[in-house]
Amino acid sequence: MKGGKKLTSLQLFTLFILIINAFYKDIFSNLGMAIFITVIFIISYFLLGFEKERFNNKKKNVRILLILTLSLLTIKYGLGIITGYLYSPYNRTFIGIIRNTFPIAYLLIVSEFLRYNFTTKGKFINHILTVVIFTLVYLNITTNLIGLTSLKQIVILVTTDILVTLFENIALTFISKKFGYSGSLTYTLIMNLYIYIIPIFPNFGEYLEAAIMIAFPIILYLFANYILTDFFKEKIDIRVKNTGAKLIRLIIIIFIIILVSLNSGIFRYWIAVVASGSMEPTIKVGDVIYIDKSYKKNIEKIKEQDVIVFKMNGNIYCHRVIKINQNNGKILLVTKGDRKGQSIDNWTVTGEELVGRVEFKIKYIGLPSIWLKNAIER
């Protein structure tokens, strides 16, 4: 059997198993899927061989794709200034991060090796099959397709999951074909693993998140193709040097804009460094708190045990609401710090004093600003 027929046969077999798993009987766990893709890759290696990446300026290609991917991720977090952020529910201890990311990272690495082998050995029809295969691989892991029972569920799945996965795999297949598995791995590892490492993520909602994640891999490919294609042979060296420096500066500028915007208080959300120990052990000195200011105009939504930030006598406090009173229809919040032995505050907080409700904290990252402030005051 010739190479082209071997590849097509292997792809059709893989597709057949994935379709059965998706729509008939759930055979694979996440580990099982990783093992299955590994077996398919090993079979492809013995049937077709495996070509090493033979691209000119491979390191330069990976560097530019890395910068582009980080730029897109930074822009995504920048947009969160408008929509707000959510606290990551994942365990971010060293062991927790390893447990969460290792199985996914392994599957992504093996998948991109297999994608690369499929795209370098195949023709256009094999590229189409590659896209369909890896779309199903992702859907098999994230979605129970067998459990779909209504048209509404199907529509939601198509718009928020299938289209995102499909466009991502189209872009990754083109990237793998043009820039090798290093290029596609760079994007897919960052975009699939950051949520397990970074403590917050933008609160876009399902549909806006889907639109962004459809656009990003396409933008990545178009920019990478423009910057790195051999069509611009005469100017490529100058362009790559300048572009790399510009993109790094862009990431830094966007990051600074995010920090300044969140600290300035001009948006709905505000971050602040805690300089007092009155909320220990819940919130410690040097922790950064993320505050939703919309509660100032909706003080009635504040509940007992919420942690709030308020201004009183020219100072800013972060304390817990322990009781809610009313006087002539006006809501009065009774507050107290969490530190052992802390007494109830000798004031009540109204809508005028309220800054907002604390949504979550990020440990320790505000400590450098505390140290700098102490050093200056000395």
pLDDT in tens, 187-197: 999 998 988 88
Q: Is residue 13's pLDDT more than 90?
A: yes
Rg (CA), the chain: 26
In the listed set 244, 263, 282, which residue is the last one of a domain according to the structure?
263
Q: Is residue 370's pLDDT more than 70?
A: no
In this prediction, residue 232 carries a pLDDT of: 41
Separation CA 39–CA 46 (nearest Å): 11
Together in a domain, 167 and 306: no
Asked if 44 and 130 count as a contact pair (C-beta separation under 8 A), the reply is: no
Together in a domain, 224 and 304: no
Together in a domain, 177 and 304: no
In this prediction, residue 238 carries a pLDDT of: 46
Q: What percent of the chain has pLDDT over 70?
A: 79
Together in a domain, 246 and 297: no
Q: Where are the beta strands (DSSP E) in the chain?
A: 85-87, 200-202, 269-273, 288-292, 307-312, 315-327, 330-336, 344-349, 354-362
What pLDDT band is residue 328 in, cutting at 50, 70 and 90?
confident
Average pLDDT, the chain: 80
Average pLDDT, stretch 255-260? 59
What's the structural domain count of the chain?
A: 2
For the chain, the farthest-separated pair of C-alpha atoms sits apart, in whole angstroms, at: 87
Q: What domain range is 298 assigned to? A: 269-377
> DSSP label at 17?
H
Together in a domain, 24 and 157: yes
Q: Is residue 225's pLDDT more than 90?
A: no
Number of separate helices (H) and strands (E) present in the chain: 11, 9
DSSP-derived 3-state class of residue 67: helix
In this prediction, residue 301 carries a pLDDT of: 92
In this prediction, residue 335 carries a pLDDT of: 94
DSSP-derived 3-state class of residue 193: helix
In this prediction, residue 200 carries a pLDDT of: 82
In this prediction, residue 237 carries a pLDDT of: 47
Together in a domain, 151 and 213: yes
